[in-house]
Every structure is written in structure tokens, then in C-alpha cells.
Amino acid sequence: MKQQAKQRQHFKFIFPIQTRWSDNDMYGHVNNVMYYSFFDTAANALLIQKAGFHLQDSPIIGLVVNSSCNFMQELSYPEMIEVGVSIAKIGNSSLSYDLAIFKHGEEQAAAQGSFVHVFVDRQTRKSTPIPNAMRDALGHYLTADAALI
């Protein structure tokens, strides 16, 4: 059963990315592993730009523990793409992201997926609660049917 493509309006954070020559594979389109890189880049951009997350010196870090992607249209270099990011769920120590990749200016997703960050102490790698300031900042990016725990 074909999944219905998400619409751009579903996402409150849109992050532009220029595809690179090396993103294409021997078939002339962006290789599937790159879509996960685009998702990771955009989700981390949301954390950095909107939640004040500092990758290099934060006492906590987010580890990806689950990810998925559904492909609907090919992408290829030199396309500009835009990655939509919403938060599907804010848990005690985890964020579940809803993501989609759009060809520049298009309303329907070329690919869509999800992944989960679990936040852990940088040193011990033990699960740790999401700080309230980050939780509050990310609340604006919750999807309409999101869960807040």
C-alpha cells in the first residue's frame, strides 16, 4: 500500500540543503543513505537554532536509536532540497521526529520518515531528562497530533 505524501504545511521548521556531487550514486540519483543524513542534519539544525543546543559542550547528547524513510520521488544533484521537521513526541529523555524532504518549492514530500533521539549524559551515556528550556523551545514544533509526556 502506497503511503500518502506529507504536505509542506505539516512542518513548522524547514531547513534548506544543497545536494552535492558525491550524494549521487551510480544510478544518477541521490543514494538512499543520504536521506538519513539530510534528516539528521535538519533535526540537529532545529535543536541548535531553536532550542539553543550546543553540540560541542553540552553535558547531554542525542543518540539516534530508531529511524525510517519512505521514498516517493528521486532526488539528484544539483537539486536544492528542503527538509521539514516536526516533533511527533517529547518524552522524558527522548524526541521523536517527523521529517520530510521536499524538492525546492514543491508542496508534496519526495521522501518522508522519522527518527528518535534519546538524550544521554555525554560522559556516562546514561539516559537523562530533556532540560526544561529545550522542552519548552521545542514545544512550538510539535505536530498537531503530538504527544507530550
Mean per-residue pLDDT over the chain, rounded: 94
DSSP 12: S
pLDDT tens, position by position, 21-39: 999 999 999 999 999 999 9
Does the pLDDT of residue 53 top 80, yes or no? Answer: yes
Domains of the chain: 8-143 (3.10.129.10)
Give pLDDT tens digits for 83-95: 999 999 999 999 9
Residue 88, pLDDT score: 96
With CA atoms as reference, report the closest residue to 51 among 116, 145, 115, 131. Answer: 131
Q: What percent of the chain has pLDDT over 70?
A: 95
Q: What is the pLDDT of residue 144?
A: 75
pTM, rounded to two decimals: 0.93
DSSP, residue by residue, 75-134: --TT-EEEEEEEEEEE-SSEEEEEEEEEETT-SB-SEEEEEEEEEEETTT--B-PPPHHH
Residue 105 C-alpha cell reads as 518549492
